[in-house]
Amino acid sequence: MKATEHLVDQLKTQIADLERFIQYLQTGKIKLKTPGEKVTKIAVSKDKCFERKSRDVKTVGAVRRLTAIIQMFIGTQISCSQRHFKMNTLKKSMKINHWGDYRANLELVVSELLEMLALPESHIDSDYMSDSEGAIAAMECNGKIALMVRNRLAPAIQHLIQHGLMVVGQSTSVVPFVDCLHPKMNNSKSSMHAWELILKYYEIKNGDYFNSTPARKLSQSFNLDIEGCKSSVSYKQCLLSIIGNIITSHSKYKRSYGSCFKAFVCAGLNSKMLINWLKFIFKCQPLVELYYQPWSYVAQTGFDDALHSLEKLNQYNFDLPADLAIRQLQNIKDAF
């Protein structure tokens, strides 16, 4: 606050100096004749007078524009300081809103999902029911689990990933006080989505080039992406492959970032690779340094604590519909 007040005082002083300079330009004129002095003839052409007047007008206009800009800057500085003070007072900023709530929510969702998976209904006994009854019961059970994963687990993971993420189009290289120059524009922007962060990882690792190679095309044609993932290198390849598949399948139907992220979580649980995939993403130091605030959950913990909770889910075999957001649209397309 003291630094801001000092800056405002300096700018006010500069504005006063500029206003005096404008008055000097407007009123200060060269006197060619004064009482008691000899008349001196100065031959000044009309062109030179016109040039001098136009130059004075341009100078006055430029100084006035500069004064207006400085006044606008002071106003935005004051409003920005008041806005930040109000946010801190009400504890509405993301920095004040500690990630503990998001972390506790993830733990709660994982516990509820484990309880659901442990229920007898989750394991259908085909000896005591017909094929049709077993299929219906299994479908209902899988539907509940799928809804739990998509509507509860995926958003819980998403909120932790998004804690402390930069605003879209911003990174840590941006000068901190630039937001105050355009407060209205800054308010209209939202923080980066978790799926956007995954896309940034995909760009850093040249995922498009990897998935466009003939070997990857052949592997995808024969569905060999998941089965061959036994080494750390193969895990990374599978991660790039699944991201590319989701981009290809969901972009043609213009699905949202949320749908893409849910598909990513479902695919990770089905293959028991979600934890490894998230590890690779958050171990990418350039990604974390570019797009996360120093106080974010990822920067502070490396996401390790959340991954430890998610490891409990690896004891179960999931068969979740990763393409749920586009399945109906695909069926409509196939029908025609």
DSSP string, 55-79: HHHHHHHHHHHHHHHHHHHHHHHHH
pLDDT recorded at residue 127 = 41
Neighbours of 106 (CB within 10 A): 23
Mean pLDDT value of segment 148-175: 83
Per-residue model confidence (pLDDT) at position 78: 53
Query: What is residue 87's predicted lDDT score, i.e. its pLDDT?
Result: 43
Do the Cβ atoms of 171 and 178 come closer than 8 Å? no
- Phi and psi, residue 206, nearest 5°: 55, 50
> Which one is predicted more confidently, 305 or 222?
305
Residue 224 pLDDT: 56
pLDDT at 42 over 60: no
Q: Could you give the CA distance from residue 333 to residue 335 in angstroms, rounded to a whole number?
A: 5
Q: Does 202 score more than 90 pLDDT? A: yes
- Token readout for 328 is 């109906």
With a pLDDT cut of 90, the percent of the chain lying above it is: 35
Cα pseudo-dihedral 141, 143, 147, 149, rounded to 10: 70
Residue 28 has φ and ψ, to the nearest 5°, of -75, 115
Amino acid identity, residue 335?
Answer: A
Of 311 and 20, more confident: 311
pLDDT above 80 for 274? yes
Instruction: Identify the pLDDT of residue 252.
Output: 66
Q: For the domain 100-335, what is the CATH code? A: 1.20.58.900
Query: Cα angle at 320 between 314 and 322, to 5 degrees?
Result: 115
Is 325's pLDDT higher than 60?
Answer: no
pLDDT value at 198 more than 90:
yes
- What is residue 256's predicted lDDT score, i.e. its pLDDT? 82
Residue 234 has pLDDT above 70, yes or no: yes
What single DSSP character describes residue 128? G
What pLDDT band is residue 240 in, cutting at 50, 70 and 90? very high
The encoded tokens of residue 163 equal 């804690």
Would you say residue 142 has pLDDT above 90? no
Contact 127, 143 (CB under 8 A): no
- In this prediction, residue 249 has a pLDDT band, given cuts at 50, 70 and 90, of confident
pLDDT (0 to 100) of residue 75: 60
Report d(CA 285, CA 283) in Å as an integer.
6
Amino acid, res. 198:
I
Residue 96 DSSP class: T
- Supply the DSSP string of 259-297, one letter for each residue: HHHHHHHHHHHHHT-HHHHHHHHHT-HHHHHHHB-TTSH
**Three-class SS state of 170:** coil
pLDDT-derived band at 101, boundaries 50, 70, 90: very high
What pLDDT, on a 0 to 100 scale, did the predictor assign at position 126? 37
Distance CA 30, CA 129 (A): 109
- The DSSP code for 120 is G
- Looking at residue 30, its pLDDT comes to 43
b or e along 265-278 (b: 16 or more beta carbons within 10 Å of the residue's beta carbon)?
Answer: bbbbbbbbbbbbbb
